[in-house]
Amino acid sequence: MAENTIFTDVKVAVIGGSGLYALEGLQVLGEVNPLTPWGHPSDKIVISQTPHGTKVAFLARHGRGHYLNPSEVPARANIAALKHLGVEVILAFSAVGSLREEIAPRDFVIPSQVIDRTKGIRPSTFFEKGVVAHAMFADPFDTSLAALIADVAKTACPGVKFHENKTLVCMEGPQFSTRAESHMYRSWGCDIINMSVLPESKLAREAEIAYQMVCMSTDYDCWREGEEAVNVEAVIANLGQNSANAKNLLSQLIQRVEVALEQKSLKTVNELKGSMKFSGITDPAKRDGEACKKLAYILPGYF
């Protein structure tokens, strides 16, 4: 497999979470393992091509074999590496717990909002040490991508129930929640829970990449009476089917995303271009040279 090929025109990326460690049915062009200013990504990034010629980058969030815990995922290196490949759209997959009766295991959920319950131990910005910027994050995902995914799902995954417009709470982990926490998240209006959407989605925003997470329910966490509290065995029991459903979804979705990119119909792809230039607040005379050099890897010519 080609390892040294330089790719700069890979517009679409898929980040696979628990249970989704590879794509299928695509022609593999090569693998890359770039050393970004923030280190190496979670694993080698596999570059494939659809029958229509769309290049797709696939990255296993926890590494193939799942050796990185959620707090250890090198999210900055992951997003920086994808941006350097040319990525404009990330489709991120995640195994989640359900906080709602109507969201059953193996259902898919497209979140529109996020609540942060990570503990501040994950590096969560590219802008530090001499270049300060504040990205907008009121709407963490891309509503046009969300709509596209829901539309494709109707034909690609007819047997899978889809829930849209839901709120995802991201906890630190790696231990699962207590019952009191699970009830608290429900009282906050949260619908699903994972350990992965942050800082990944924030960093994608800073790198001006449109980002939508597709959540696949595996369990009812630990709030539901009469249901055993979540454990890894229960999660794993649903990962196989969820991963098969994700692959079916992707078999049609990638091509639709390519068309949408050509038609410039993806909301945040258009809105994000150039946005970070105007989010920077540091006086150019006061910007740190090293910090600027690192930022040039993802946003060349900005700082």
Ligand X SMILES: CSC[C@H]1O[C@H](OP(=O)(O)O)[C@H](O)[C@@H]1O
Q: Which residues are identified as catalytic?
A: 219, 221
DSSP string, 60-80: ETTTTTT-S-TTT--HHHHHH
The reply to whether 17 sits near ligand X by the rule CB under 6 A is: yes
Q: How far apart are CA 129 and CA 289, in angstroms?
A: 10
Residue closer to ligand X by CB (options 95, 253) is: 95
The reply to whether 169 sits near ligand X by the rule CB under 6 A is: no
- Binding partner of residue 17 among ligand X, ligand ADE, none, CB under 5 to 8 Å per kind? ligand X
- Residue ranges in 97-156 that form contacts with ligand X under rule CB under 6 A: none
- Binding partner of residue 193 among ligand ADE, ligand X, none, CB under 5 to 8 Å per kind? ligand ADE
- List the one residue from 56, 235, 276, 295 that touches ligand X (CB under 6 A): 235
Q: How far apart are CA 37 and CA 115, in angstroms?
A: 28
Q: Is 151 annotated as a binding residue?
A: no
- Enumerate the β-bridge partners of residue 162: 108
Helix/strand/coil percent split, the chain, to 5: 30, 25, 45
187: left (phi over 0), alpha (psi -120 to 50) or beta: alpha
- List the one residue from 36, 118, 196, 268 that touches ligand X (CB under 6 A): 196
Rounded to a whole number of angstroms, the minimum distance from the CB of residue 165 to ligand X is: 19
The reply to whether 194 sits near ligand X by the rule CB under 6 A is: yes
- Binding partner of residue 70 among ligand ADE, ligand X, none, CB under 5 to 8 Å per kind? ligand X
The reply to whether 95 sits near ligand X by the rule CB under 6 A is: yes
Q: Is 64 annotated as a binding residue?
A: no
- List the one residue from 10, 18, 98, 272 that touches ligand X (CB under 6 A): 18
Rounded to a whole number of angstroms, the minimum distance from the CB of residue 234 to ligand X is: 9
Q: How far apart are CA 30 and CA 45, in angstroms?
A: 8
Angle between helices 75-84 and 197-206 (to 10 degrees): 40
Residue closer to ligand X by CB (options 70, 280) is: 70
Q: Is 279 annotated as a binding residue?
A: no
Could you tell me the two tokens for 84? Answer: 């350097």
Q: How far apart are CA 171 and CA 129, in angstroms?
A: 27
* Residue of 131, 76, 132, 134 whose CA lies nearest to 293: 131
Residue closer to ligand X by CB (options 109, 260) is: 109
Q: Is 195 annotated as a binding residue?
A: yes
Q: Is 117 annotated as a binding residue?
A: no
Q: How far apart are CA 175 and CA 141, in angstroms?
A: 26
Per the annotation, where are the binding residues for phosphate? 18, 61-62, 94-95, 196
